[in-house]
Structure 1
Amino acid sequence: MQQPAQRSIKLGIQAFLNGDNQQAYEQFRQAIELAPEHPDGWINMAILHRRAGQLGEAHAFINKAYELRPDSAAVLSNMGSVLGDMYRHDEALEFHKRAVTASPDNQGMGRNHLQALREAGQFEGFLAGCEAYLKRHPDDTSVRWFKAQALFYLQRFPEAWRAIEERWQIANIRGALPTDISWWQGEPLDGRSILVVDEQGFGDSILCSRYIPLLAEQGANVTLLCRPALHDLFKDLPANIVGELAENQPFECAAIIHRFFKSSPDDVGGDPTVSQSFDYATAMMSLPGWFKANLTEAPPASPPVHKDELLPPSLQKPLDEAGEALKVGIVWAGNPEFKRNAQRSAPLSHFADLATVPGVQLFSLQKGPAEAGLESLDDPGAVTPLGLHLGNFTQTAAVIEQLDLIIMTDTSVAHLAGALNKPVWNLLDTCPYWIYGLTGEATGWYPSMRLFRQTQPGDWAPVFASVKSALTALAEEKSG
């Protein structure tokens, strides 16, 4: 590739990393004009469109690169990734296999192949692939995390919990385990103090909050360091709730534990109730493992979560105006930063169709960028938007208490509804969160939750056909 085209590629990649997709597009377009016979411009244009969710365009660009260099490992791997996002998993796997064969020492391409096995639902192959990969690259901690995922899918829980402790070494969970801290590993806690640090998604924290009372029952003095959004929700737990853990820091809890472990009141906002030293420290997602959680034994019940007593008129009035209708809350998308958000989210149009069921009124509890989709509905009155007015989890909990049912894809609100013991229908893709397993309509973790599952990756139509049928029966039952 000539130097001007190389420069355009370099500038385009830098713009892409800086979040300037328009500038990246212009630079990659220029690279293609300068060197149309070289695959790099086409590859990067495919990556840009894939990340934007424009899969048709991404496929066209990577196809052009494939025509130019059908033996290129980079082309093959990116073709596999695009096809995987299009749920063409059999084809995707073939391209990833070819990429790994062409470049067996490329760790990124190896990881792409492993993720393709997971998305295709080939969990035995996923585990075997992880183990084979780790023999060649034992220091790749990302793949050790993949191995933990595979063990969860295969319900090999003791091994999975041991493997998940290796999450501390993953690059995007900054801060390795400090060696001068006593990490709790199930020891007796009578009269001891323990620091528990919130981590990962809000749903993970709500799920694992059920273990805080168990620590207190053992006689522990529990301090919970968590993000501000969870403070009020968890205020009824038997723990000191402390800390202004930043919203963007849930994966940095190892380093944060180190800072707080031998803390003074000044370190925690002058709060004199916080121990100046702790006997033990742990993190939220370590607790299920030390309590030997699995899918065959009933987990501890969710503790009460705090909810607002009064709602502002912007939330209460629409609920009152629904009268005797079956009031159904909906959420169709999760955190856009979550890597599998596209797979676990469902089209809003499928949810809006549920409004055609007689006697049903839909209320959107959706927050974030996906909420804008309500503006493009054919019937704006099909869904009453509440998300804009929901200020925190305790308000959301209070709204859920007044609804008859929540129907949603798997996000933190599903965990919140389950913790409130409210009826919730959780719509799952083919690689669900570990507590749901791979089969069945129920989960012992949330007795009020019913699971509706995809049978084919990316195919939500049969799921919503089942949901609509069940919702129709429920509405008829309510109307008498």
Structure 2
Amino acid sequence: MVVRSNHYKAAFVAAQDLQRSGRLAEAERAWRELDQKLPGHVGVITNLAMVLWQLSKFEAAEISAEQALKIAPDTVQARAIFAASAESQGKIDQAIERYIYALEIAPRMSTVLHCLSNLYRQRGDLKASAHYARRMAHEAPDNAVAWDTLGAVLLAINELDGASDALNKAVKLDPNLASAEANLGVLAAARHQWSTALRHAEQALAIEPSSAESNNNRGNALMSLGRLDEAECAFNAALSINSNCFDAMFNRSLLWLKQGRWPKAWQGFEARWQSRQMAPFKREFNKPLWDGSDSMDKVLLIHAEQGLGDMLMMARYFPLAEAKVGGLIVECQTELVKILTTMSLGFDVIGSGNPLPKFDMHLPAMSLPRVFHTDVNSVPWRGPYLNATHAATQIIPSEGLNIGLVWAGNSRNPSDFRRSIALHDLAPLLEINGVNFFSLQHGPEGDQLAANGLLRKITDLRPHMVDFAATGRLILELDLVISVCTSVAHLAGGMGTPLWVLLSADPDWRWLRNCGTSPWYPNARLFRQKIVGSWKTVVEETKLALSEMVESENYSRRRKTMANDGSEELGSFTRS
């Protein structure tokens, strides 16, 4: 930019030097002095806008940038600062509009493309974010940040192979780019490669030790590897760097819940609503959260969160909550309305999506254990709390041992890869004589019956499972339910039906660790993986237990028969 006199030219260069050297307050004064001497000079006003933005004086920067654009609308730098000032003030829509305006005259400007990708990602438009990230990588192929940005977006939209390519390019271009190493760790975690995820998190920390996010990622990997003490240290490190690292706060609470340290965990568990995983699902009500105190003059809304099984597990608290408030409304998933209505305790049950009656306060369902100060020894259990109106189905035979099977959870659950079993892995159970097997498996995973040629050995009950109340009626006629960690397990558990739960080596927190029983369901027996990812020993132990149960059932029936006909003394009975 041409300055009209040597004196002004020297002053212009001096101001630029101050700005480049980071002496920003001095640079601001220099640009303002020049602005007074050269009013209306676009270069001076634009540089003033830039230094104001660098000093976090965003409103002033925005005013100066706008002033420059009124004089020379095609000034690229002024357009970029005008957009960046809006972004820094949280005016996302305006920032996006202004960055696109800047691209009109500088379509290859990588910094603007970068900002657009980040803003669209922040707004949740991952398709647009990926579009601008790809443009950035195309325009700046030697820029490691461009490939890191693209890799992060592809990771967010689950294009894992593309993310891997982009992130590895970023690390190759700049081995000291901590964010790329961190994203490679997140990628490895998405592929359930926990040792690799740990290695990348530690490499990211070697480059940038003060990263709360990388400490949190390291903690996640360690927790998934079962190294809980180290994981806790990692989460603590993240929170010592950033006390508002809600992901670390939430993850540490999950670790404490796994360990049975529930009273210590509940408050941190509330941080789930600020975590990246759960924040998009937070319900906003213009009503206070219930703190568990007696409120007999108020109506409480308890609303569903997370999965169907979570709501069934929490239903035990509804009578306790109802006793503390003037009125109770339970909003649940539509599939659960009938089964929860059968609790018949005088509260209203409403399916999600329906208009809500008036209420005075609310609580997400999974916060109930916190407000009732639940620990491992005080889980509410006064006997079965879920009821299914009994109606003979004429599907379940009266002879033999009748067993319900569930082998898979909802595939949309991010932990489903851990908890679900392929049906063919349960084949050894089918070798036991005297057992009638029935599939309680919901959804397309039930098609594994036909795919494995097992329709003659396992009766598919899906046509009769129209909702959870109907499924409950079927469970009433079964002697035992064998299930992975999914909603049917919670249904059977809440009904008091004998329940065996097949668990991964790193199951959900509610099943605790290294125990064979559950504080949530006294009628449950737990079978756990010994080796991560291997169901072999779980199935072997389940088969042995089931064989013993069949033998015990036959023994009991024979004793009863002989006692009735008096043909032999019970003491001399020998098992065959």
Question: Letter of the aligned partner of 2:515 in structure 1?
Answer: G
Quick one: distance in 1 between partners of 2:381 and 2:314? 10
Query: Which residue number in structure 1 is paired with residue 445 of structure 2?
Result: 370
Distance change in 2, residues 1:108/1:219 (3 Å): closer
Q: State the SS of the aligned residue for 2:340.
A: coil
Is structure 2 residue 356 aligned with structure 1 residue 356? no
Give the Å deviation of 1:80: 4.4
Give the Å deviation of 1:87: 6.1
Q: State the SS of the aligned residue for 1:362.
A: strand
Deviations 1:302-345 (A, max 9, x none): 5532324336xxxx45423xx52322111112122221111121
Select 1:141's aligned residue among 230, 239, 246.
Answer: 246
Query: Which residue number in structure 2 is paired with residue 173 of structure 1?
Result: 281
Is structure 2 residue 292 aligned with structure 1 residue 186? yes
Query: Which residue number in structure 1 is paired with residue 28 of structure 2?
Result: none
Distance change in 2, residues 1:329/1:65 (3 Å): farther
Is structure 2 residue 272 aligned with structure 1 residue 197? no
Quick one: distance in 2 between partners of 1:245 and 1:213? 20
Distance change in 2, residues 1:196/1:81 (3 Å): closer
Deviations 1:362-419 (A, max 9, x none): 2211112322322321544332222344110001101111111111111111111011
Quick one: distance in 2 between partners of 1:102 and 1:239? 59
Quick one: distance in 2 between partners of 1:294 and 1:451? 19
Quick one: distance in 1 between partners of 2:377 and 2:383? 17
Structure 1 length as normaliser, TM-score? 0.75
Select 1:427's aligned residue among 494, 502, 508.
Answer: 502
Q: Is the 8 A contact 1:424 1:450 kept in 2?
A: yes
Q: Is the 8 A contact 2:185 2:198 kept in 1?
A: yes
Query: Which residue number in structure 1 is paired with residue 347 of structure 2?
Result: 240
Distance change in 2, residues 1:82/1:459 (3 Å): farther
Q: Which moved more, 1:386-395 or 1:78-87?
A: 78-87
RMSD: 4.1
Select 2:543's aligned residue among 454, 468, 477.
Answer: 468
Quick one: distance in 2 between partners of 1:477 and 1:63? 58
Distance change in 2, residues 1:428/1:194 (3 Å): same
Quick one: distance in 2 between partners of 1:85 and 1:419? 33
Is structure 2 residue 538 aligned with structure 1 residue 447? no
Is structure 2 residue 231 aligned with structure 1 residue 126? yes
Deviations 1:129-174 (A, max 9, x none): 2221123333332332112212212333222111122333342233
Distance change in 2, residues 1:65/1:405 (3 Å): farther
Is structure 2 residue 491 aligned with structure 1 residue 416? yes
Quick one: distance in 1 between partners of 2:297 and 2:168? 67
Structure ID, larger Rg? 2
Quick one: distance in 2 between partners of 1:302 and 1:51? 43
Distance change in 2, residues 1:352/1:318 (3 Å): farther
Quick one: distance in 1 between partners of 2:422 and 2:166? 26
Distance change in 2, residues 1:61/1:471 (3 Å): farther
Give the Å deviation of 1:176: 5.2
Give the Å deviation of 1:108: 5.8
Query: Which residue number in structure 1 is paired with residue 390 of structure 2?
Result: 309
Question: Letter of the aligned partner of 1:122 in structure 2?
Answer: R
Question: Letter of the aligned partner of 1:357 in structure 2?
Answer: I
Quick one: distance in 1 between partners of 2:305 and 2:383? 18
Select 1:154's aligned residue among 239, 253, 259.
Answer: 259
What number of residue pairs does the alignment pair up?
427
Q: Which has the higher contact order (CA 8 A, sep 6+)?
A: 1
Give the Å deviation of 1:121: 1.4
Quick one: distance in 1 between partners of 2:182 and 2:458? 41
Q: Is the 8 A contact 2:164 2:184 kept in 1?
A: no
Query: Which residue number in structure 2 is paired with residue 214 of structure 1?
Result: 320
Distance change in 2, residues 1:335/1:18 (3 Å): farther
Distance change in 2, residues 1:288/1:67 (3 Å): closer
Q: Which runs of 5+ in 2 are unaligned?
A: 1-107, 556-576
Quick one: distance in 1 between partners of 2:250 and 2:382? 28
Question: Letter of the aligned partner of 2:367 in structure 1?
Answer: S
Is structure 2 residue 202 aligned with structure 1 residue 112? no
Q: State the SS of the aligned residue for 2:396.
A: helix
Is structure 2 residue 311 aligned with structure 1 residue 230? no
Give the Å deviation of 1:472: 1.3
Quick one: distance in 2 between partners of 1:440 and 1:58? 41
Quick one: distance in 1 between partners of 2:301 and 2:253? 25
Q: Is the 8 A contact 2:167 2:184 kept in 1?
A: yes
Question: Letter of the aligned partner of 1:414 in structure 2?
Answer: A
Deviations 1:193-248 (A, max 9, x none): 3222222211111111111112233464222222222211111242432434139x
Distance change in 2, residues 1:246/1:342 (3 Å): farther
Is structure 2 residue 394 aligned with structure 1 residue 288? no
Q: Is the 8 A contact 2:300 2:325 kept in 1?
A: no
Question: Letter of the aligned partner of 1:168 in structure 2?
Answer: W
Q: Is the 8 A contact 2:255 2:509 kept in 1?
A: no
Q: Is the 8 A contact 1:124 1:154 kept in 2?
A: no
Quick one: distance in 2 between partners of 1:241 and 1:318? 33
Distance change in 2, residues 1:325/1:394 (3 Å): same
Give the Å deviation of 1:103: 5.0
Quick one: distance in 1 between partners of 2:353 and 2:260? 33
Question: Letter of the aligned partner of 1:174 in structure 2?
Answer: K
Give the Å deviation of 1:84: 5.1
Q: State the SS of the aligned residue for 2:280.
A: coil
Give the Å deviation of 1:423: 0.8
Q: State the SS of the aligned residue for 1:451.
A: strand
Quick one: distance in 1 between partners of 2:307 and 2:204? 33
Quick one: distance in 2 between partners of 1:361 and 1:176? 48
Q: Is the 8 A contact 2:295 2:325 kept in 1?
A: yes
Q: Is the 8 A contact 2:151 2:167 kept in 1?
A: no
Query: Which residue number in structure 2 is paired with residue 100 of structure 1?
Result: 205
Quick one: distance in 1 between partners of 2:495 and 2:348? 20
Q: Which moved more, 1:419-428 or 1:136-145?
A: 136-145
User: What percentage of residue pairs aligned between the two structures are identical?
Assistant: 26
Query: Which residue number in structure 1 is paired with residue 269 of structure 2?
Result: 164
Q: Which moved more, 1:287-296 or 1:87-96?
A: 87-96
Q: Is the 8 A contact 2:211 2:241 kept in 1?
A: no
Question: Letter of the aligned partner of 1:155 in structure 2?
Answer: G
Deviations 1:274-298 (A, max 9, x none): 5x443x4322212111211111335
Is structure 2 residue 510 aligned with structure 1 residue 404? no
Distance change in 2, residues 1:415/1:240 (3 Å): same
Question: Letter of the aligned partner of 2:427 in structure 1?
Answer: A
